[in-house]
Structure 1
Amino acid sequence: MPSNTILTGQVLSFAASPFDDDATGAAKLHEAVHISGGHIAALGPLAQLRASAPDADVIHHPDALITAGFVDAHVHYPQTAMIASWGKRLIDWLNSYTFPEEMRFADPVYASEIAGRYLDLALSNGTTTMASYCTIHPASVTAFFEAAQTRGMRALAGKTCMDRNAPEGLCDTAQSAYDDSRALLREWHGRGRLEYVITPRFSPTSTPEQLAALGALWAEHPDCLMQTHLSEQVDEIAWVRDLYPQARDYLDTYEMHGLLGARGLYGHAIHLEPRERDRLCETGGALVHCPTSNTFIGSGLFNTAVRKTEGMRVGLATDTGGGSSFSMLRTMAAAYEIGQLTGTPLHPAQLLWLATAGSAEALHLGDRIGNLTPGMEADIVVLDLASTPAIAQRHARAEDIWEALFPTIMMGDDRAMREVWVNGSRMSA
């Protein structure tokens, strides 16, 4: 049950995006946060919160950072068991590892096992919300949503749709993709903290007819999100050009079929043409940066700072299991490293914002999760900023909160998760 609790420590909230102004000025530190009824009731001095909530339990974390739970904007939970599989390029990797593993999700028992395993791994790393691809099997969606519902999590997911260039056992049709997706949407969308996401895998594995069918479904349910992949690798873009010779570019394969819009999530989006960038800015579609995946599979370098300067909405994601870690800390570290390689280093405030409020905004959930402000849902991570000897010795020399946090971003793992709270309930301690 949601608790009536006050947490004390260094409670961090964002008043603005650190990409819009002075990075450090966008954040504010508070002494305490009051959790009540599954939501953030108040932030402020401990004495003030105790006076307004005298019956609340008080838990002290004087040396920890208390922040919003991490939001992972692009994952493939069915790839949990095959994470960190050696491979060459995207298409080889899909054929060698991904597709054979996804075939196993025809078994609902296996789907439930992996869904529970994935969510527990995510929670152990401080991730409290994610948007996941499932497989073509409707039971894989049911398994994921049931597991998330059991844990009280806010979660988004959809049946992955493919009707070509995949094994026969992983192909549906344009009509069955529409019918299955609509049935799952009607069953799960808006049920508790769950949201259905219309999910064509990417243009190479969907015929124009299937993309058009899913575009029609999205037009019928415009409050849903739509997720897919875009311009991840150069050879993938060339393949799309061969498959869709009439399209102006990769993004146009979605646009011409009704799959470009403000509630669209476009994973990777590394190698964008000027027209694609312009259209994404005009429509408000979100790009999802998957840095550990981009380096692991050799896709390229996404320039977060430049995309933000252009006015695009950007989320951050592990891309499990093309990504090589379940940890959003490791993902932030990889985003920093890629920023260095592109000559646009990211400040710790920007990294934390991307993993919380930024990803929440990409998912159109910025009014509910991703930040610690009154009225928001109480998904919270308490970070131990001295979780290992190596981190502790660097933390000891920190002169401000960002110097204190940065070693945990760069070297932290699940040991840094002192507590994880979901919807006002403590999941671990």
Structure 2
Amino acid sequence: MTIEKKAYRAAIVHSIADPAEVVVEASYEYFEDGLMVVENGKITAVGHTRDLLGSLASDVEVVTYTDALITAGFIDTHIHLPQTGMVGSYGEQLLDWLNTYVFPVERQFADPGHAAEVSDIFIKELLRNGTTTALVFGSRHKESVDAFFTAAEKLNLRMIAGKVMMDRNAPDYLVDTAESSYVDSKALIERWHGKGRLHYAVTPRFAPTSTPEQLTLAGQLLTEYPDLYMQTHISENLKEVEWVKALFPERKNYLDVYDHFKLLGERSVFAHGVHLCDQECERLAETGSAIAFCPTSNFFLGSGLFNLPMAERHKVNVGLGTDVGGGTSFSILQTLNEAYKVMQLQGAKLSPFKSLYLATLGGARALRLEDKIGNLHEGTEADFVVLDFNATPLLSYRMKQATSIEEKLFVLMTLGDDRTVSETYSAGVLVHKR
């Protein structure tokens, strides 16, 4: 086997623990002049250049970045492939917005050519913004997931996706049936799950658009394939919560609907969770399920403010989601900008190191992939990004005033966007260069 070995020199920072669980200083590693060694797609060493450079063989190429920061690739735990074409659509709350904007664009994904075209655009946007792993909703059409996985496989990306299951309370042109959603999902699982770095997620859109029969079959898939993911929405909007109560009056709360159909587990991710109660958070923690915190879409659709301190208090795993197209940016940096404001409005703080955690290791833990991605430890996959301190004139000027890595991270998360991402690597291969 050919050994491909290369080293990367720059300032390096990565998250190693949740700042909510340890003292802040123990939540990250920072090397002002750092070196990271990558061999055959995996990280073999990371540390201070002074400690590692002398041990490198003379033929190992060292790529040096100045005024730049290397960190783990960003992880987006909630995003919609079909909504790429309607991101930034004006002026509705969740339920009206779905009918006005979302469902019509999702209809187009019955066409394999359209699905392939949008998948290419979508993946390029992820990589331009430094996102190396995403948990992705397709449309209800098998073609959407086939197209996405085909594009992701070509770049050897670690991606998770699923076909939306939706057999009621949607336009006739967009619903499937309980049986067809099971059969289509099973075919996609057999074709894609575990192929390369790809994983499948059972994907009921949300409780109001699935009959009990469909939710039962979704739970059956998770039983038949225990290492699958499950993704859905929960408690995003108050009208949605009331709708769920009316549709499932026998259940004690929104989460209990999913719990009843055996959809909670260590690889289950529930997007939003804006209006969860303590009892629901307790149950999420008991089952190892995670929440995707989606600040830009919650602002944009007027849904409310996610209570991160409550989730932390109950030790619920939390990742970060852009939620494109309710969310207004593919940029994890811009999403962190909005997350900071969400916390401020609740009288709480979001430190730069907690933000780094949410964008990287927190997302990996939500997806049970922390042994592979989300940090730069020896043995992990070399998914990483290079952030440019001089990406814009204002960023360059502001960085010159920054005196600590904490301040630099905060500046990147408030002034940074896709322009800040100089390079993105997946399994040690350059997949985006600005």
Q: Please tell me the TM-score bracket, short chain as reference.
A: over 0.9
Q: Distance in 1 between matches of 2:143 and 2:53?
A: 45
Q: State the SS of the aligned residue for 2:12.
A: strand
Contact persistence 1:34–1:49 (CA under 8 A): no
2:298 aligns to what?
A: 294
Contact persistence 1:43–1:49 (CA under 8 A): no
Q: Distance in 2 between matches of 1:173 and 1:55?
A: 59
Q: Distance in 2 between matches of 1:411 and 1:161?
A: 38
| Equivalent residue for 1:77, pick from 77, 81, 88 | 81
Q: Residue type of the partner of 2:28?
A: A
Q: Distance in 1 between matches of 2:292 and 2:162?
A: 17
Contact persistence 1:50–1:56 (CA under 8 A): no
When residues 152 and 2 of structure 1 are mapped into structure 2, their CA distance, relative to the original with a 3 A threshold, is: farther
Q: State the SS of the aligned residue for 2:344.
A: helix
Q: Deviations over 1:104-125 (max 9, x none)?
A: 0000000000001000011001
Matches within 5 A, 1:324-335: 324-335=328-339
Q: Distance in 1 between matches of 2:236 and 2:425?
A: 34
When residues 89 and 44 of structure 1 are mapped into structure 2, their CA distance, relative to the original with a 3 A threshold, is: same
| Equivalent residue for 2:100, pick from 87, 96, 102 | 96
2:248 aligns to what?
A: 244
Contact persistence 2:94–2:237 (CA under 8 A): yes
Alpha-carbon shift at residue 427 of structure 1 (Å): 2.0
1:167 aligns to what?
A: 171
1:43 aligns to what?
A: 46
Q: Does 1:61 align with 2:65?
A: yes
2:26 aligns to what?
A: 25
Contact persistence 1:42–1:49 (CA under 8 A): no
Q: Distance in 2 between matches of 1:74 and 1:218?
A: 19
Alpha-carbon shift at residue 262 of structure 1 (Å): 2.1
Q: Distance in 2 between matches of 1:427 and 1:281?
A: 36
Contact persistence 1:164–1:205 (CA under 8 A): yes
Alpha-carbon shift at residue 53 of structure 1 (Å): 3.6
Contact persistence 2:278–2:310 (CA under 8 A): no
Matches within 5 A, 1:346-425: 346-425=350-429
Contact persistence 2:15–2:353 (CA under 8 A): no
Alpha-carbon shift at residue 387 of structure 1 (Å): 1.7
Contact persistence 1:385–1:405 (CA under 8 A): no
TM-align CA RMSD: 1.4
Alpha-carbon shift at residue 127 of structure 1 (Å): 0.6
Q: Distance in 2 between matches of 1:187 and 1:49?
A: 44
Q: State the SS of the aligned residue for 1:157.
A: strand
State the aligned residue count.
429
Gapped runs of 5+ residues in structure 2? none
Alpha-carbon shift at residue 22 of structure 1 (Å): 2.0
Q: Distance in 2 between matches of 1:17 and 1:8?
A: 26
Q: Does 1:144 align with 2:145?
A: no
Q: Residue type of the partner of 1:9?
A: A
Alpha-carbon shift at residue 184 of structure 1 (Å): 0.7
Contact persistence 2:17–2:361 (CA under 8 A): no
Alpha-carbon shift at residue 355 of structure 1 (Å): 0.5
After alignment, is 98-107 or 175-184 more displaced? 175-184
1:230 aligns to what?
A: 234
Q: Deviations over 1:370-422 (max 9, x none)?
A: 11011110011011123212222221111111111211110111111111111
Identity %: 46
Q: Residue type of the partner of 2:389?
A: L
After alignment, is 27-36 or 54-63 more displaced? 54-63
TM-score, structure 2 length as denominator? 0.96
Q: Distance in 2 between matches of 1:291 and 1:37?
A: 36
Alpha-carbon shift at residue 12 of structure 1 (Å): 1.2
When residues 329 and 9 of structure 1 are mapped into structure 2, their CA distance, relative to the original with a 3 A threshold, is: same
Alpha-carbon shift at residue 3 of structure 1 (Å): 4.8
Q: Distance in 1 between matches of 2:256 and 2:316?
A: 18
Contact persistence 2:228–2:267 (CA under 8 A): yes
Alpha-carbon shift at residue 50 of structure 1 (Å): 4.8
Alpha-carbon shift at residue 59 of structure 1 (Å): 1.1
Q: Distance in 2 between matches of 1:218 and 1:93?
A: 30
Q: State the SS of the aligned residue for 2:378.
A: coil
Alpha-carbon shift at residue 147 of structure 1 (Å): 0.6
Q: Does 1:278 align with 2:318?
A: no
1:264 aligns to what?
A: 268
Q: Deviations over 1:292-319 (max 9, x none)?
A: 0100001100022331132110000100
Q: Distance in 2 between matches of 1:49 and 1:257?
A: 54
When residues 160 and 56 of structure 1 are mapped into structure 2, their CA distance, relative to the original with a 3 A threshold, is: same
Q: Distance in 1 between matches of 2:314 and 2:334?
A: 26
Q: State the SS of the aligned residue for 1:24.
A: helix
Q: Deviations over 1:306-365 (max 9, x none)?
A: 311321100001001110001000011111110111111110011011001100110111
Contact persistence 1:2–1:424 (CA under 8 A): no
Q: Distance in 2 between matches of 1:221 and 1:343?
A: 43
Contact persistence 2:75–2:364 (CA under 8 A): yes
After alignment, is 364-373 or 268-277 more displaced? 268-277
Q: Residue type of the partner of 1:28?
A: E
Matches within 5 A, 1:207-222: 207-222=211-226
Q: Distance in 1 between matches of 2:171 and 2:137?
A: 18
Gapped runs of 5+ residues in structure 1? none
1:110 aligns to what?
A: 114
2:198 aligns to what?
A: 194
Q: Does 1:177 align with 2:181?
A: yes
TM-score, structure 1 length as denominator? 0.97
Q: Distance in 2 between matches of 1:53 and 1:44?
A: 17
